[in-house]
Amino acid sequence: YMKPVKEGVYPAMLHVQGYSSNKVPQNLYQGDDMVSFALNIRGHGNSQDDVNPGFPGYLQDHVDDKELYIYRGAYMDCVRAVDFLFSRSEVDTSRVAVEGGSQGGALSFATAALDNERIDLCVPHVPFLSDFRDYFKVAGWPGGEFRQYFEDHPEIPEDEIYKNLSYIDIKNLAPWIKAPVLMSIGLIDETCPPHINFAAYNQLNVPKEYIVYPFAGHGLPGEYYNTMMDYIKHQFKH
């Protein structure tokens, strides 16, 4: 958690992380005009002390039970992060953004959807966790993990698993979002292919923009960070 040295009230940005990564202080925005909070959802970074299904394994953790599935809890972790921001006197609660890439892109969508009265801006890039049936057909990962899961658990109907996944599918959550959205994608992304990004984006009913990096895969070029920050600052300008 970082805040400007000068006392005052500032817009805030919640950073949510990619799959298996660890959010540490150097990941935070270093400017003097915004509060920055990086969250380790359950099973990531220092949150592994309490919940740690591991990698691989995270994606399938309790996927047979929609109430216990790991991502149900992960999404709630993000909402609790917003609770924390709203408890801080230095945060301008009318200007709170969420951003992240890959899994963090999915978490950005989910946070903006589930906490749509408090999130004012959503900035995902190369978002994950969408359009699962098609996704698993075209992506070697995580499709391979789930195909193995289906083989290991023939007693569980595949349709039941897909039904449970539908509850955390960001294309089903996207219509709840009330904040403007800027989504960025890599056109040759084989991990989170563009069609799963747009499966969610196309369900948005808010002001929205997208940026395509035609020669980028799952990692966007360095210029993306500056573009993202310029967009956030412009949106939050008084």
Q: Catalogue the active-site residues.
A: 102, 189, 218
Rounded CA separation 117/179 (Å): 9
